[in-house]
Amino acid sequence: MALIVLRFVFMLVAAGVGITLIKVEAFQSVLKDEPWWAFLGIMVLALGVIGIDVGVKQKRYDTISGVYFGLLVGLSLTYILGLITQVWFPADNPSAVTAHRALQLVIGMVLCYMCISLVLQTKDDFRFIIPYVEFAKEVKGPKPYVLDTSIVIDGRIADVVETGFFDNVLIMPRFVLAELQGIADSSDKLKRSRGRRGLDILNRLRNNDRVDLKIHDRETPDMEGQPVDMKLVLLAKLLEGKIVTGDYNLNKVAKLHNVDVINLNEIANALKPVFLPGEHLSVRIVKKGEEESQGVGYLDDGTMIVVEGGRDHINSQVRILVTSVLQTSAGRMIFGRYEAVEGSQGGSSGGGHKSHANT
């Protein structure tokens, strides 16, 4: 809305400049009986400047400080260029002086618009540099969390946010949203289902009053031609935020670039119940293990339990003694030794509970 108002005011200023040029004797003598060509030329120039500005996509809207700063720079450049061009217009010639002032109006009109527009569209990336010193925007408060495609499709992020565990600003990049829309429009049924699930999760986050979700439209020049994962890393660096993902490869790439990562899989593993050697555990054996006499069961959270001596008790709820716990990148594995059958043949398909060994 602010840029629309700016463009409207710019056209009004251009019309005023055009009318002023019509009254300049120098232009009247050149254009003779058709002085309105000067007015039309200024209006065409103004429309051309706006057309170029509109042609540059991914606009950001302004703040009043951006307008002031852009106007100040534009007027300063106009004054400097006016001093430079003054040598071409003799001061003792009234017509030349008037023409010089008209030229300054045109230059000032274009420069002020371009400077204000530039500040409004790049205010989030503002850098003021002098030799050996750089003044950059400093992010205060909680760091924003940048979401990737896999974590949105996964869906657990919505449940985690609703618990109040994350109270930071969630950033959904426009290029990630475009990738998600592409998956939702895929001809493959499974991909299409996953993409639509991701869009549903985004709508769920957006409709939650407790969630601060923002769509980030802008891409910096160094993101051009980069894959989505690299764009996420560059954006997180720019915003000084963290990437929320469940993608193992993105996790490694981000850490190589010193970008903090929140991996929901690692959080899920950290929240799983801890079993120590010597504790007793009840689990249902569902299949044979790789080794002879081994049986395999699972807890409700998916943790695999390998039971020595459990092969003969498939589809039975058994009591085991935990002998060791192995933590891997894929999750946690528990090894135990069969002690006794606890349930009947028609028990539940998974789950378990633990108790400490008697001493």
pLDDT above 50 (res 345): no
> Pairing relation of β-strands 279-288 and 317-328?
antiparallel
The Cα–Cα gap between 202 and 196 comes to 10
At residue 347, φ and ψ (nearest 5 deg) are -70, -175
Q: Are residues 297 and 331 in the same domain?
A: yes
Strand (E) positions, the chain?
A: 127-130, 133-136, 145-147, 170-173, 213-216, 242-245, 261-263, 279-288, 294-298, 304-308, 317-328, 331-341, 352-356
Q: Are residues 28 and 68 in the same domain?
A: yes
Residue 238 falls inside a structural domain: yes
The Cα–Cα gap between 14 and 105 comes to 9
The Cα–Cα gap between 251 and 238 comes to 17
Q: Are residues 236 and 279 in the same domain?
A: no
Residue 87 falls inside a structural domain: yes
- SS3 label, residue 334: strand
| Count of domains observed in the chain | 3
pLDDT of residue 214: 85
Residue 137 falls inside a structural domain: no
The Cα–Cα gap between 179 and 149 comes to 7
The stretch 145-150 carries a mean pLDDT of 88
Place 161 in a pLDDT band, splitting at 50, 70 and 90. confident
Q: Are residues 258 and 166 in the same domain?
A: yes
Q: 230: closest CA among 253, 247, 210? A: 253
Q: 246: closest CA among 198, 210, 184? A: 198
pLDDT above 80 (res 23): no
Here the contacts of 286-289 (C-beta below 8 Å, separation 24 or greater) are: 286/314, 286/315, 286/349, 286/350, 287/314, 288/314
Find the range with the poorest average confidence among 166-175, 216-225, 289-298: 216-225
Residue 140 falls inside a structural domain: no
The stretch 216-242 carries a mean pLDDT of 84
Find the range with the poorest average confidence among 88-92, 149-153, 227-231, 308-312: 88-92
The residue segments making up the domain with residue 29 are: 2-130
Place 273 in a pLDDT band, splitting at 50, 70 and 90. confident
Residue 229 falls inside a structural domain: yes
The Cα–Cα gap between 97 and 99 comes to 5
Q: Are residues 172 and 250 in the same domain?
A: yes
Q: Are residues 81 and 20 in the same domain?
A: yes
The CATH number of the domain holding residue 177 is 3.40.50.1010
pLDDT of residue 108: 81
The chain-wide mean pLDDT, for the chain, equals 78
Q: Are residues 151 and 256 in the same domain?
A: yes
Q: 277: closest CA among 226, 320, 229, 223? A: 320
pLDDT above 50 (res 129): no
pLDDT above 60 (res 218): yes
pLDDT digits (tens, 9 = 90+) for 49-60: 888 777 756 544
pLDDT of residue 87: 74
What are the structure tokens assigned to 54, written together? 């509109």
What number of helices (H) and strands (E) belong to the chain? 12, 13
pLDDT above 50 (res 134): no
Residue 136 falls inside a structural domain: no
The CATH number of the domain holding residue 279 is 2.40.50
pLDDT above 60 (res 359): no
Q: Are residues 281 and 233 in the same domain?
A: no
The Cα–Cα gap between 136 and 240 comes to 12
The alpha-helical segments, DSSP class H, found in 86-148 are: 94-122
Cα–Cα distances in angstroms (integers) from residue 251 to residues 123, 220, 274, in the given order: 30, 22, 25
State if pTM tops 0.75.
no
Q: Are residues 117 and 17 in the same domain?
A: yes
pLDDT digits (tens, 9 = 90+) for 197-211: 888 988 888 888 888
pLDDT of residue 31: 59
- CB of 97 closer than 8 Å to CB of 89: yes
pLDDT above 60 (res 124): no
Place 295 in a pLDDT band, splitting at 50, 70 and 90. very high
